[in-house]
Amino acid sequence: MAYRAAIVGGSGYTGAELLRLLAGHPEIEVVHVTADSNAGNRVVDLYPSLVAAYADLVFHPFEPGDLDGVDVAFLALPHGQSQRHAGTLVDRVAHLVDIGADFRLPADAYEQWYGEPHQAPELIDRFVFGLPELFRPDFAGHAHVANPGCYPTAASLALAPLLAAGLVEPTGLIVDAASGISGRGRGLSAPSLYSEANENVAAYGLLTHRHTAEMELALGRLSPTSSASVLFTPHLVPMTRGILATCYARPTTEAAALGTDGLLAHYRDFYAGEPFVAVLDQPPATKSTAGSNTVQVTVRYDGRTNTVLAISAEDNLVKGASGQALQNANLLLGLPETLGLPTVGLVP
């Protein structure tokens, strides 16, 4: 018998991507999807690409009671909304996977980076930070998951092997990352307009982007000093999907001694057995990860500048959002972690 799933906030890109992935999942069935702004409309009227799997599925307004008996609910809501609803759901639904930012950070860090107090701080500890490749043991004893953001997933997986082995200094980390337009969501905004985004690359969120806190949280937990500091600069580029994160760090003498070949061998050992991380000799590219739940990474040591360079590529809608959410749901339900998730990209 299939597990029953609901998607709360299913009309955005992450909701649509979840529906696409779940359509091929052999053990999870979507039985309910909400979208207040599209309530009463068929899902396929908004996303015709889903017609073969969801011809009769209709968006409903959000009512907590409608989720009774659901095994897992994916919260694909705009920032700030999950914390308003979680109190009515954490004991009603067996497992929640929040794709938003509401339960990723401690309450004080949330207020610092989001500029407002958290509305349900007593619930934060009930959610595990869901980056399985780094924190899989933390899932034990947790029923609910806070899905990491797209940029922190890319940057953390690029830098984690270095921090965990003490191969780089945990301060002065630099992350430059470029994202496709879908990372802004489906809502109408000037930077998302074709005439604004086409043939244009723009940095944004200088010094204040909220995902910085998640990077420091994840990397700090791996660091021998239990802390990390990151200067993060995101860029919007004229493509639909993908994130390329280029990361720089100051090496220790051990990293310098290893050189590029030794660092690549270390990365392969660190990610051995991880189905969704591929360590490459060549630089990764976003096109190679499109549609897949795989992150591609590489690393270099530059003796001329005494710098370690780590690069990762991912699909921001899959491993950066909905695919990782499904990976986390598989873990919560005791299913094989790879079930229903593609590991290869769409090329061309």
**pLDDT, tens only, 188-239:** 788 889 899 999 999 999 999 999 999 999 999 999 999 999 999 999 999 9
Verify whether residue 150 is a known catalytic residue: yes
Catalytic residue among 99, 150, 158, 197: 150
As to burial, measured by CB atoms within 10 angstroms (0-12 exposed, 13-18 middle, 19+ buried), residue 166 is middle
pTM, full prediction: 0.96
Interior angle at CA 3, CA 27 and CA 125, nearest 5: 115
**pLDDT, tens only, 239-281:** 999 999 999 999 999 999 999 999 999 999 999 999 999 999 9
Read off the pLDDT of each residue in 330-342 and give the average, rounded to a whole number: 97
Domains in the chain: ranges and CATH? 3-148+319-333 (3.40.50.720), 151-316 (3.30.360.10)
144, two tokens = 């609910």
